[in-house]
Copies of this chain bind each other. A is one copy, B any other.
């Protein structure tokens, strides 16, 4: 049995193959030995960004996850830091299922004890809050960064850098970028260079955890 097959579920609809494969590409660059298939949920071009869109996405994610399990993948990544449907899907499937939020929270805890988190929403995703427990120092969104399109604007990176610097100055010994859109624009290495503390990229963290899970036996 091939132990290295991974299914990535993208929680936004897209016809753009570059977008569809963007997370797969990041992981393959680091773990070329993994076989990856990516699939996107239908009819949610704006993805998952609040409770309503999260609830809408869960049955779609579950259906794709079940199909992927049938096709023989060894583990599944729900590629969103809100981990939509994670608890339900773990119960329904017999293979490991990882959420990008959970993966990045766990990896952050290996590097820091006072973790600063930033993302797009006003409040921290509850799954991250729960996993980080008393290792969460603070959550802070960036002013003017309300969706992934804002990240792509000319001053997008600068705005997140300001927030990240604030978190470090509050005493964070590790930063967690809790939005997979921040992976797409390669924000973590930039912030790490400027701030000199570890910065967790959620897709790279997910790749690291998934690579462990498919090889651990």
Chain A contact residues, CB within 8 Å of chain B: 30-31, 96, 98, 102-103, 106-107, 109-111, 131, 133-134, 189, 192, 198, 201, 204-205, 207-209, 211-213, 215-217
Contacts and interface: CB of A to CB of B under 8 A. Distances in A.
Contacts of A208: 208-209, 211-213, 215-216
B205 A212 contact: yes
Given A107-B212, A111-B213, A209-B212, 6 more contacts: A31-B215, A96-B198, A107-B209, A109-B131, A133-B133, A208-B208
Contact of A110 (B133, B207, B213): B213
Contact of A102 (B110, B131, B133): B110
9 contacts: A96-B198, A102-B109, A106-B109, A107-B212, A109-B131, A133-B134, A204-B212, A208-B212, A212-B212
Interface of chain A, helix or strand or loop or mixed? helix
Contact of A30 (B109, B111, B198, B215): B215
A106 B133 CA distance: 13
A2 to B, nearest CB: 15
Contacts of A213: 110-111, 208
Nearest to A31: B215
Nearest to A198: B96
A113 B114 CA distance: 23
A99 to B, nearest CB: 9
Pick the most buried of A31, A103, A111, A198: most chain B CB atoms within 10 A of its CB: A111
A215 B30 CA distance: 7
